Structure 1
Amino acid sequence: MSRFTPGELAVMQILWEHGELKPGEVQQHFPEPIKNPALRSYLAILLEKGHVTRRKVGKAYFYKAVTGRKKAFRSTIREIADVYCEGSAKQLLLNLIRSEKLSEAELLELKRLADGPNNDG
């Protein structure tokens, strides 16, 4: 999966949250002022990359996210692990735990999750 630019990600987040929308509706939800041509450029790129679909209703196009939020998240996490942690999910988790300075209760919760029913031996 190709990585999202910040603008593409903003559009995806709007579509994930609100569902199928016309460009003007996406523009209303955009986190900062954006001109129509820039927004349409993001939509065209996302359409070309296969992350969104569009359908025509009368004269209007409606855009809908095809790539799900969880799939995009997993892809981004995999890329972070590959680039910064030599592909190691364990190293990624250890770096997160160290950098976030988790409380003892949070660490115990992580241990409980790691020792869960799927890890009985």
Structure 2
Amino acid sequence: MPRFTSGELKVMSLLWAHGELKPAELQELFPEPIKNPAIRSYLTVLLEKGHVSRRREGKAYYYKAITRSRSAFRTMLDELAEACCGGSVRTLVMNVIKSEKLTEEDLIALKRLADEEGSKASGS
């Protein structure tokens, strides 16, 4: 899956959150001021990369995410792990835990999550 630029990811996030949208609707929802040609440029690239589909209704085009957010997240996580931690997602997570100011509640929640995943993996 080709990686996203920052702007492409913002467009994808809006499509994941809101479903099918026209360029003007994306422009309105965009987190910072952006001109319509820039939105259309992002959509063209995302269409070419195969991340979005487009359908025409009257004179308007509607765009919809094809790539799922979970799939994109996993790809970006793997890329970050590869770039920063020799490909180890475990090392990446450990570094995030060390660098963040986690509360005791956060650590308990992480432990609970790890325990749940461990019991799933062992088939219990």
Tell me if both proteins adopt one fold, taking TM over 0.5 as the criterion.
yes
Q: Figure out how many residues of one structure are paired with residues of the other and give that number.
A: 121
Residues 41-78 of structure 1 deviation map (CA, whole Å, 9 limit, x = unaligned): 10000000000000011111100011111111111111
Q: Which amino acid aligns with 1:35?
A: K
Per-residue Cα deviation, 1:27-52 (whole angstroms, up to 9, x for no partner): 11111221121111100000000000
**Other-structure match for 1:91:** 91
SS at match of 2:4: coil
* Cα RMSD after superposing both structures: 1.6
1:31 counterpart = 2:34 = no
Moved over 4 A (4+): none
Give the unaligned 5+ runs of structure 2.
none
Pairing of 1:8-19 with structure 2 (within 5 A): 8-19=8-19
Percent of residue pairs identical: 60
- Tell me, what secondary structure is at the counterpart of 1:106? helix
TM-score, with length taken from structure 2: 0.89
Matched, 1:6 2:6: yes
